[in-house]
Structure 1
Amino acid sequence: MSLAGLFAVLVIGLNLLALPFVLMLLLSAVSAMFSSRKTKLLQTPESRFLIVIPAHDERVGIAQTVQSCRAQDYPIERFSVLVIADNCTDDTAAIAEAEGAEVVVRQTPDKRTKGYALEYLIEQLQASGRFDQLEALVVIDADTVASADLLRKFDAKIREGHDWIQCYYTVANADASWRTRLMTYAFSLVNGVAPFGLFKLGLSSPLNGNGMCFTTRGLRRVPWKAYGLVEDYEYSWIVRMAGERIAFVPDATVKATMLEQGGEAAANQRRRWEFGRKEIKKRLFWKVLRDRRMGLLERLASAVELKTPPMMKLLAGLAFLAILNIIAALAFADPLVHPAAWVLLGSCLLMIAAVGLYALSPFVVFDLPLSYLGTLAYIPIYAIWKLTIKLGEKPTQWVRTARTAER
């Protein structure tokens, strides 16, 4: 075999390894782009909700969050808002109470994560008997504004039979800086197109920590047991490995305020997300493949999801592989007649189509302004920043991210 032939075989092998990720991008994008985003609302809402806001030293934004939750377009007698003032050293509890929220104060310094706070509250609700009077808990972060139709759309999904629901989680201060615009675009992909596409393909959406809804009947089957650096992602896999499916609601939103610039606070937040997810993916991969409670298609798709690298690395890797395909095809003496060259060029076109459709899908699915295309020019700067923060040590405990207003 010639040198060109050996090179072609090597590149084709790399294409086969990349094929599951390419298909995942393509299918999720196409599915999201050609599915209706509209949730069919019911005339008479029935579900009884408790909106839970875990808060640790959140005096800056807690008032706005409570206000948006209490302003839901939903019968006032069928929902209430509760703030868990979790190990607070400021006046978060007093501010939340002044805005009309019920407040539960928790002081357990050795168990500081949102996961422990939620477990504590659920235990308190069960002990008091209040848990049995509710249909669902809705979890909202303390720096967030919820859309007014959130509960009505969760109610519609619950009455369709869904016990686990995630809404579209995006950025509140999208136009504050190039960084928040880029995060808005990234969130529209990772928190929007990808979960919406997977759900419409009959698979499960992940949970994103903010804008989650759990029915009490679901929590009885799969109790909350997630306490790590990314407790939401961890619990979503606990739910999915129990054979359950998480629904996605694309037309209800929670919008959280993001840091406008980089710095140590943003680095700590990104480090926690990256290390936390990487650890869970590594721990669960083989367990997911062997778990008989999940269907075969769900297991295979989940295995691909668990092995998918961070989006920046995946897109960069596919771009590099597309270039290798072209080089390998042109290395043949007569590429127009060589079958391997056509395979390489066909694979290259498939990758371009998958990445292109996925990259453009937010502008179709979530009506992202076309002006955000210019923001993509900052991707190399953001990529370099991410590479530098990954050099740090693995976080050993949860650390609260300082808000922009505080900084």
Structure 2
Amino acid sequence: MADVFVYISLFLIWSMLFYHIFLMQGGYLHSVQYRKKEQEWQQRNTPFPRVSILIPAHNEDVVIGNTLEAMSNLNYPGDCLEVIVINDNSSDRTGEIAEAYARRYAFIKVIHTKPPNGGKGKSGALNNGLRESTGDIICVYDADNIPEPDAVYWLAMGLANDQQAGAIVGKFRVLNANKNILTRLINIETLTFQWLAQAGRWFWFKMATIPGTNFAIRRSILEELGGWDEKALSEDTELSFRVYNLGYYIRFFPSAITWEQEPETLKVWWKQRTRWARGNIYVIMKFFFGFHKLKNKKIGIDLFYFLFTYFLFFGGIMISHTIFILNLFLDLNLTIGVVSYLLLIIGFLLFVTEELLALSMEKNQLTMKNFFTVLFMYFSYSQMWVLLVVYASFLEMKRVLFKQEVKWYKTKRFEQTPIPKDRSA
């Protein structure tokens, strides 16, 4: 019986590894082709659409000043731009700092929300901002983001020149990547996610997931969909599926770059990622059980990817780990011991290869330090994700069974770090 479970776990793990190899090929091809779109869009001289940038901010006085300074340096006409800071029930100086920038720049304005309409989380804040906005294109940035000057230009041009795109998402880089070992691990994780999952899915399937920041979406789509789902902890993933269902695709365009702060302590990381995992599990269940009602069945590609990742792939890893530990203390009569160990070693080498390939697509990231960080990542960071998903699944099951209210966790911010001088081109 133990052999059967080993075979099942290996099948699940290797299925995901093969799919990731496929995605990484697409990600690499996209990395060498997307510059052509830059030239094509620039040659068209498309008129600038009116853009509204929404910045939800709850107790963000540590970072909001740098974010608004970056907004003031955007290469986008001021008469076609408005920046709306949603000061969402803050108890610190967020509103005061934002108002100071609003007095300096005519295109920046601040709205202040209080309960019962405010303080409900990011989705509620974005819906409040949407009602106050006037742009045909809505961009979203988190309050810790520092977009590069051309970021909004590329997001806007992407939608202005591609009517089939319902949304366009840019690339984000880790601002504090060199702070400690945790931020270095997160930096590698984010680069791999973008060049593997985002770029790869876009190249092969014309699909990408809307992130929480650095994206643009058509106002008409948001109005048709009724804005953001205020019950979703991962409002970005949930919105992605509804955009797909309208028949649009979501383009990944890495020319639009923003720099964002990542958790610097394990406690903050755990709380943030638990919220993400719970949010994604909510989305999976919402659309899995409602799949028969969806108009665009292509959503099934992404739905299966999320379902496989969170349940089957991580389930396979848990089975493998459990059998390995049990076999240390009990004789499980395994007959494929050598083969299974060989496959696990090859799987480890594939993991390392994928991570290094993703790093090679970014300037100054394929370094000896990052190489050893990747080796460490497999045995530490990746295993923490397995435990986190199990924990998040338990919390979601408890929430559903006991009909608990969803509580939003606001990620703690740290003192801002300057953008690295050796940033990507």
Q: TM-score, normalised by structure 1?
A: 0.80
Relative to structure 1, is the Cα distance of residues 160 and 396 closer, same or farther in structure 2, using a 3 angstrom cutoff? closer
Give the Å deviation of 1:89: 1.4
Write the distance in 2 (CA, Å) between the matches of 1:223 and 1:98: 32
Paired position in structure 1 for 2:399: none
Output the aligned Cα RMSD: 3.6
Relative to structure 1, is the Cα distance of residues 350 and 217 closer, same or farther in structure 2, using a 3 angstrom cutoff? farther
State whether residues 115 and 226 of structure 1, in contact with CA within 8 Å, keep that contact through their aligned partners in structure 2: yes
Describe the SS at the equivalent of 2:249: coil
Paired position in structure 2 for 1:397: 407
Paired position in structure 2 for 1:66: 68
Paired position in structure 1 for 2:17: 22
Moved more, 355-364 or 188-197: 355-364
Give the Å deviation of 1:180: 0.6
1:223 maps to a residue whose letter is: G
Give the Å deviation of 1:68: 0.9
Match of 1:94 among 93, 96, 109: 96
Write the distance in 2 (CA, Å) between the matches of 1:167 and 1:94: 30
State whether residues 318 and 351 of structure 1, in contact with CA within 8 Å, keep that contact through their aligned partners in structure 2: no
Give the Å deviation of 1:64: 0.6
State whether residues 192 and 359 of structure 2, in contact with CA within 8 Å, keep that contact through their aligned partners in structure 1: no
Write the distance in 2 (CA, Å) between the matches of 1:315 and 1:63: 45
Describe the SS at the equivalent of 2:173: strand
Measured against aligned partners, the alpha-carbon deviations of 1:166-200 in whole angstroms (never above 9, x if no partner) come to 11123111111111111010011224431111011
Residues 1:200 and 2:199 aligned together: no
State whether residues 146 and 253 of structure 1, in contact with CA within 8 Å, keep that contact through their aligned partners in structure 2: yes
Give the Å deviation of 1:229: 1.7
Give the Å deviation of 1:270: 2.3
Moved more, 99-108 or 391-400: 391-400
Paired position in structure 1 for 2:400: none
Q: TM-score, normalised by structure 2?
A: 0.77
2:112 maps to a residue whose letter is: V
Equivalences for residues 320-399 of structure 1 within 5 A: 355-367=351-363, 368-370=365-367, 371-379=369-377, 380-382=379-381, 387=387, 394=395, 396-399=406-409
Equivalences for residues 255-270 of structure 1 within 5 A: 255-263=259-267, 265-270=268-273
Measured against aligned partners, the alpha-carbon deviations of 1:301-343 in whole angstroms (never above 9, x if no partner) come to 431333213899489579979x9xxx96787xxxxxxxxx9xx
Measured against aligned partners, the alpha-carbon deviations of 1:361-403 in whole angstroms (never above 9, x if no partner) come to 3123334232312222443343565537965883830132221
Moved more, 245-254 or 32-41: 32-41
Relative to structure 1, is the Cα distance of residues 169 and 240 closer, same or farther in structure 2, using a 3 angstrom cutoff? same
1:231 maps to a residue whose letter is: E
Percent identity of equivalent pairs: 20
Write the distance in 2 (CA, Å) between the matches of 1:176 and 1:400: 21
Write the distance in 2 (CA, Å) between the matches of 1:301 and 1:193: 14
Moved more, 250-259 or 347-356: 347-356
Relative to structure 1, is the Cα distance of residues 382 and 21 closer, same or farther in structure 2, using a 3 angstrom cutoff? closer
Write the distance in 1 (CA, Å) between the matches of 2:315 and 2:370: 21
- Is there any run of 5+ residues in structure 2 with no aligned partner, and where? 325-333, 396-404, 417-425
Misfit runs of 4+, over 6 Å = 317-321, 327-331, 344-350
Write the distance in 2 (CA, Å) between the matches of 1:377 and 1:208: 27
Write the distance in 2 (CA, Å) between the matches of 1:356 and 1:389: 22
- Is there any run of 5+ residues in structure 1 with no aligned partner, and where? 332-340
Give the Å deviation of 1:275: 1.9
State whether residues 226 and 232 of structure 1, in contact with CA within 8 Å, keep that contact through their aligned partners in structure 2: no
Equivalences for residues 254-333 of structure 1 within 5 A: 254-263=258-267, 265-288=268-291, 290-291=292-293, 293-296=295-298, 298-309=299-310, 313=314
State whether residues 177 and 261 of structure 1, in contact with CA within 8 Å, keep that contact through their aligned partners in structure 2: no
Measured against aligned partners, the alpha-carbon deviations of 1:263-291 in whole angstroms (never above 9, x if no partner) come to 3x333222212222223223322433x35
Measured against aligned partners, the alpha-carbon deviations of 1:84-110 in whole angstroms (never above 9, x if no partner) come to 111111221221122232111111257
Match of 2:87 among 79, 85, 88: 85
2:236 maps to a residue whose letter is: D
Write the distance in 1 (CA, Å) between the matches of 2:391 and 2:349: 33
Write the distance in 1 (CA, Å) between the matches of 2:162 and 2:341: 45
Describe the SS at the equivalent of 1:309: helix
